[in-house]
Structure 1
Amino acid sequence: MKRNWLVTLLCSVLMMIGLIPMQIVEAAPPKIGTNAVGAALIDVESGRILYSQQGDVPMRIASLTKIMTAIVAIENGNLDDKVKVSKTAFGKEGSSIYLKLGEEMTLHNMLYGLMLRSGNDAATAIAEHVGGSVDGFIYMMNEKAKMLGMEHSNFNNPSGLDENGGNQSSSNDMAKLTAYALKNPTFQEIVSTKIKKVPNPNESWDYTWLNKNKMLGMFDGADGVKTGYTKLAKRCLVSSATRNGQQLAVVTLNDPNDWADHARLLEYGFEYYPLQKLVLKGDAVPGQTWVVGRTVSYPLAEGESTKITKKVAVVNPDSTAYRLGDRGVLQLYMNDRLISTTPLFEPGSTRLNQQDQSVFQFSEPYQGTWVSRYGLLLRMLLQELFSVSGAG
């Protein structure tokens, strides 16, 4: 017994003076839970899902549907177009912005009514205008879901009502969609708005819409996204917040205590998964004469930085891409899983000034999708095709 104590004491002294290296113990983030049936926490820039609770289980999503409705309309419609309210849209059941039959409003303004007040009349009018019909728009919604790798989602209407079987998605899928949508400046501006005044052609006073999302007023840095409720779906919520240049989003499905759960999950993400720069634009690449084209950031828990590895994929010198200035691609891995890429250029290349947009990063939301598995490969194949055919 005495000998064991002396050995322990000796080892402690030797570690203190550096003769025996101290073992670094990684402090894993503490466990956290919610009152939700399904939940997810995602880092918006990287797309990394930081927490998931039954994340791939399809559930009813109520008016969270309108996140998809909004981004499809923004990407496919003209925001200055006048949207006319049809008989189908007029008097639509559930939450409403009380549009009149035949009333016209710009698509941009109607999107505020859709997202701030969850107007089902606005959802129907937008769908008919952008998709040509509600069915046409539903097709566009489901195609967008496929493109984003939302493998556990199906949309049957643009509002989130339980009609036609309602809409289903998983918390992980909704996190993917939200991270994608928040990168659109128009979407981000709309969902972060607390109050909006819009011209009212029927009265002498303007429409005044207060955002139903209480997180905007109760959480520091909150900047979105959408509430939802039906009798079958129960309380659903997507929220987002930005601190120190990092934006996180939370999804909860069927959660009776959603406001509190969202605040706790957002605080958890900011504290235990801060966004860290893995490489900086202009950094030299060891063993090469090239420099990094774009800064890449990624959320990492304590100790995870040691799990990051880097590989260089060299561009074919005979390709069009090489003639345009590309020299290679720096691939970033964590635990042997590709999480991001950034192009490589010669120092002083004019291409460096064209690389200011955020680099697409590969994370959990896109694993197994066309985007993550084949996007880079397709780009390289197209570059080679153009090189052979003489284009460029």
Structure 2
Amino acid sequence: ASTTKIMTAIIALENGNLDDIVKVSKNAASIWGSTIHLTAGEEVSLRELMYGLLLCSGNDAAIAISEHIAGSVEEFLKMMNRKAEEIGAYNTHFTSPHGLDGTGHYSTAYDLAVITRYALNNPVFNEIVRTKSITIGKRYMANTNEMLAGYEGADGVKTGYTGKAGRCLVTSATRDGRRFISVVLFCDSRHQRALSSKQILDYAFANYHYRTIINSEYIGMLPVYKGFEKSVPVYVEKNVTMPLTESEYQSLYTKISLPSEVIAPIRERDFVGTLSVYLNDEILCESVIRAGKSIKKKNILEYLVDVFIAWLKLMRES
């Protein structure tokens, strides 16, 4: 379905210039389904095509964008599928940039959420998908996403429909600094997809709150072998915050993986271990543990002096 166009937009925004002028081919102008009525030979900006793609779900815009960015639809599809794998949408494969039903063209609700989360990191994508309507040149374009007008905080993303996929809707909504993505597929009507989306988002806003589950902080000292200092301070590299229900938050537990000692020389920020947070015995997230300072390695003479001093101390004690 046209939720495919989220990935089409990602590739276009990362590889094109919105001020580019695109000459529409016969191939783009002749595509069926939802269109923005492009004509062969027409020259239009990539910006206008992007709005036509994401607001009006223009299949012709999708083809024109593909040919402009990659030279052909086939090459553009290679870029789409590489990006899907790169960002973790492993159960997705594209055989068109517009999403019309086709053999081997598939995705999942989870993968579409992953793709959308990635796309929403792009400020231009955000600007386009939250737009309710716009006029560029002589072309007026209205957003097909009914959630923008009917749900508090809705700020995107993309509708879709084919005979096999049914009515589909990927929605983003933000309230009080919390942003959630919902994905509904195979709905019978626009009303059903909007209602289902609202129910998912209502549940998320009522039950999920951002929790800091990993703090970036020093967590102790790690013994150093053959170093000028006997131990090195180690710290957790990054803070991790994510939305969790209260019951999920209370069920979290942490495991720290560190060696019994590290061998000098040690450089500040060297990797020394991992802190893992678990939920239901599965890793929820991880953060790297690093050395907090540099420690030089003793040369052989300095090491032998240490051994001799230790031996003398042992002899005195005996």
Task: Give the shorter-chain TM-score range.
Answer: 0.7 to 0.9
Percent of matched pairs sharing the same residue: 42
Tell me whether 1:70 sits opposite 2:5 in the alignment.
no
- Taking the aligned partners of 2:178 and 2:235, their CA distance within structure 1 comes to 25
**What is residue 21 of structure 2 aligned with on the other side?**
82
Let me know the Cα RMSD of the aligned residues.
2.8
The alpha-carbon distance between structure 1 residues 110 and 299, as it changes in their structure 2 partners (threshold 3 A), is same
For 1:259, the aligned partner's letter is A
The alpha-carbon distance between structure 1 residues 344 and 130, as it changes in their structure 2 partners (threshold 3 A), is same
Which residues in structure 2 correspond to 1:1-392 (within 5 Å)? Answer: 62-162=1-101, 164-165=102-103, 167-198=105-136, 200=137, 206-256=138-188, 257-281=192-216, 283-285=217-219, 289-313=233-257, 322-323=267-268, 329-343=274-288
- Taking the aligned partners of 1:319 and 1:142, their CA distance within structure 2 comes to 43
Q: CA deviation at 1:309?
A: 2.7
- Taking the aligned partners of 2:45 and 2:237, their CA distance within structure 1 comes to 40
The alpha-carbon distance between structure 1 residues 292 and 109, as it changes in their structure 2 partners (threshold 3 A), is farther
Question: What are structure 1's unaligned runs of at least 5 residues?
Answer: 1-61, 201-205, 349-392
Give the TM-score, by structure 2 length: 0.77
Contact residue 157 and residue 166 of structure 1 kept, 8 A: no
- Taking the aligned partners of 1:166 and 1:103, their CA distance within structure 2 comes to 32
Per-residue displacement from partner, 1:344-387 (whole Å, max 9, x unpaired)?
56789xxxxxxxxxxxxxxxxxxxxxxxxxxxxxxxxxxxxxxx
Contact residue 70 and residue 187 of structure 1 kept, 8 A: yes
Give the TM-score, by structure 1 length: 0.64
For 1:175, the aligned partner's letter is A
- Taking the aligned partners of 1:81 and 1:328, their CA distance within structure 2 comes to 47
The higher radius of gyration belongs to 2
- Taking the aligned partners of 1:87 and 1:332, their CA distance within structure 2 comes to 54
For 1:304, the aligned partner's letter is E
Deviates more, 1:189-198 or 1:218-227: 189-198
For 2:285, the aligned partner's letter is S
Q: CA deviation at 1:335?
A: 3.3
- Taking the aligned partners of 1:150 and 1:347, their CA distance within structure 2 comes to 35
For 1:115, the aligned partner's letter is L
Q: CA deviation at 1:229?
A: 1.2
- Taking the aligned partners of 1:317 and 1:136, their CA distance within structure 2 comes to 49
Q: CA deviation at 1:308?
A: 2.2
- Taking the aligned partners of 2:272 and 2:91, their CA distance within structure 1 comes to 39
- Taking the aligned partners of 2:44 and 2:264, their CA distance within structure 1 comes to 53
Deviates more, 1:122-131 or 1:183-192: 183-192
- Taking the aligned partners of 2:257 and 2:124, their CA distance within structure 1 comes to 35
- Three-state SS of the structure 1 residue aligned to 2:161 is strand
Per-residue displacement from partner, 1:219-275 (whole Å, max 9, x unpaired)?
111111111112332211111111232221111111121101100110111212222
Q: CA deviation at 1:304?
A: 1.9
Q: CA deviation at 1:323?
A: 4.2
Question: What are structure 2's unaligned runs of at least 5 residues?
Answer: 223-232, 294-318
Q: CA deviation at 1:72?
A: 1.8
The alpha-carbon distance between structure 1 residues 318 and 252, as it changes in their structure 2 partners (threshold 3 A), is farther
For 1:213, the aligned partner's letter is N
Contact residue 157 and residue 172 of structure 2 kept, 8 A: yes
Q: Which has the higher strand share?
A: 2
Deviates more, 1:217-226 or 1:237-246: 237-246
> How many aligned residue pairs are there?
279
For 1:109, the aligned partner's letter is E
For 1:260, the aligned partner's letter is L
**What is residue 366 of structure 1 aligned with on the other side?**
none
Per-residue displacement from partner, 1:51-76 (whole Å, max 9, x unpaired)?
xxxxxxxxxxx111111111122223
Contact residue 113 and residue 209 of structure 1 kept, 8 A: yes
The alpha-carbon distance between structure 1 residues 65 and 309, as it changes in their structure 2 partners (threshold 3 A), is same
The alpha-carbon distance between structure 1 residues 317 and 103, as it changes in their structure 2 partners (threshold 3 A), is farther
- Taking the aligned partners of 2:107 and 2:146, their CA distance within structure 1 comes to 23
- Three-state SS of the structure 2 residue aligned to 1:303 is helix
- Taking the aligned partners of 2:240 and 2:148, their CA distance within structure 1 comes to 28
- Taking the aligned partners of 1:300 and 1:345, their CA distance within structure 2 comes to 27
Q: CA deviation at 1:127?
A: 0.8
The alpha-carbon distance between structure 1 residues 247 and 209, as it changes in their structure 2 partners (threshold 3 A), is same
Contact residue 96 and residue 122 of structure 1 kept, 8 A: yes
